[in-house]
Each structure stands twice: as structure tokens, then as C-alpha cells.
């Protein structure tokens, strides 16, 4: 188990330890590997990408983009991360043009650890250009697909 990840889990999220296969998944992602996580509701899937996202960002490896189809879930996740002291934001259809620009500026300035993006953003040249810019600057670390069972319905 990655000591920084376990310390972060305790300090930021308030959990004494990982459950089930979380530790193995977190270690794999912290090391830069890939992982497919299939767990039931409430089993802690979000921690499997949130902890590595924070560890990697604090190590200077860039932000994590989480593609999530559920606006309410994005809002809840970002709110909980803010309460834990983690810089997070979302890009979806609820934001005004000015709010979207503010998030994009924060992304470019390196002020966001986790970005939750609606799937339709992946179809926009503007967002893809932003991701290209972030990648070229070495500011992208991980991608996560939340609620992946919905992917076939994304279009």
C-alpha cells in the first residue's frame, strides 16, 4: 500500500484504511497504471480515483478528469471534495458561459485537482482543445469514467 495514499485517505477523507480491493486499485493508479473497477453502489469506487488523483497532483503530475453523466452526482462529489479541502470543479450544462470560462482559466492555471466533465463535453472542439493544451503542458494525469455502464447511451 502506498504510504502517501493511506495517509491522504486518513487525513483528507477521514477513513482509517481502504476496503476490499481499493488499496490495489489505488496503488495501480498512483503508479501510473490503468484499472477497471467494478463495485456495487456504496463500495467506494470514487475513492479509487480520487485518492490517486490527489496523490499524483500533489506530486506535480497534473489533474484528473472524471467523465460523469450525472449532474447531481458531479455537484455532490465536487461539494464533498471542497469540504475536504480539495480543489475540484465541474463542467456541464448548468454553468453559464462566464462560469465555464472561470473553470477553464482555473484549469490552465493549475488550480484544479479533479475536474468532473459531462460526456457531451468530449464532443466539443473547445473542450478537446483545452485537453490538448493541458496535455502539451504536462498537466493531465488521469482519466476516470464514472457510471461507465451508461457509456453506450452517451452517443
Q: pLDDT tens-digit profile of 111-141?
A: 999 999 999 998 999 999 999 999 999 999 9
Task: Write out the residue range of the structural domain in which residue 121 sits.
Answer: 3-153
The whole-model pTM stands at 0.92
Residue 54 pLDDT level (bands cut at 50, 70, 90): very high
Measuring CA to CA, how many Å separate 60 from each of 8, 91, 131, 146?
16, 23, 17, 24
Q: Which three cell numbers stand for residue 54?
A: 490527489
Helix, strand and coil percent figures for the chain, each rounded to 5: 55, 10, 35
DSSP state at residue 113: S
CATH number of the domain where residue 146 is located: 3.40.50.300
Count of the separate structural domains present in the chain: 1
Amino acid at each position: 500500500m502506498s504510504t502517501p495514499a493511506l495517509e491522504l485517505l486518513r487525513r483528507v477523507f477521514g477513513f482509517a484504511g481502504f476496503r476490499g480491493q481499493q488499496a490495489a486499485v489505488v496503488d495501480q493508479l498512483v503508479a501510473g497504471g490503468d484499472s477497471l473497477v467494478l463495485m456495487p453502489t456504496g463500495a467506494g469506487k470514487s475513492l479509487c480515483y480520487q485518492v490517486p488523483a490527489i496523490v499524483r497532483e500533489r506530486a506535480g503530475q497534473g489533474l484528473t478528469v472524471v467523465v460523469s453523466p450525472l449532474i447531481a452526482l458531479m455537484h455532490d462529489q465536487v461539494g464533498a471534495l471542497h469540504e475536504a479541502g480539495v480543489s475540484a470543479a465541474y463542467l456541464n450544462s448548468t454553468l453559464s458561459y462566464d462560469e465555464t470560462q472561470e473553470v477553464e482559466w482555473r484549469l490552465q492555471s493549475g488550480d484544479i485537482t479533479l475536474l468532473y466533465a459531462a460526456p457531451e463535453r468530449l464532443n466539443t472542439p473547445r473542450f478537446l482543445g483545452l485537453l490538448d493544451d493541458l496535455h502539451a503542458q504536462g498537466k493531465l494525469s488521469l482519466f476516470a469514467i464514472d457510471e461507465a455502464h451508461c457509456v453506450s447511451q452517451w452517443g
